Amino acid sequence: MSKRGGFFLFYLLFFVILLGSSPAYAYIGPAIVFIGYLFGPIGALIAGILMILSFPFLKLYRKFCKKKEEGTEADNKEDDAP
């Protein structure tokens, strides 16, 4: 199947499912607002702390990967030399 045919099939199924669905008639209530108000800032704080703590490890990872790639390029140049 071609890539274009796959997209067509995906969109066709998407619209069939979308048009065939019915409303859920579910009541969320005010509790969801409280949960979002409580866990939203906590989740943002945790994500910020994890980003700050992971930064040094990312720098070390990039440093070691760069050295490793430079070493393999030097080996390839030596192999190509006459």
pLDDT in tens, 1-33: 566 777 888 888 888 888 887 777 777 778 888
What distance lies between CA 6 and its chain's CA centroid? 23
Give me the number of domains the chain comprises. Answer: 1
Buried b / exposed e over 14-26, threshold 16 CB at 10 Å, is eeeeeeeeeeeee
| 53 in any annotated domain | yes
* Boundaries of domain holding 54: 29-77
pLDDT confidence bin for 80, thresholds 50/70/90:
low
Task: Give tens-digit pLDDT for 31-47.
Answer: 888 888 889 999 999 99
Record the pTM.
0.43
| 2 in any annotated domain | no
| 20 in any annotated domain | no
| 8 in any annotated domain | no
Residues in the chain: 82
d(CA 19, CA 22): 8
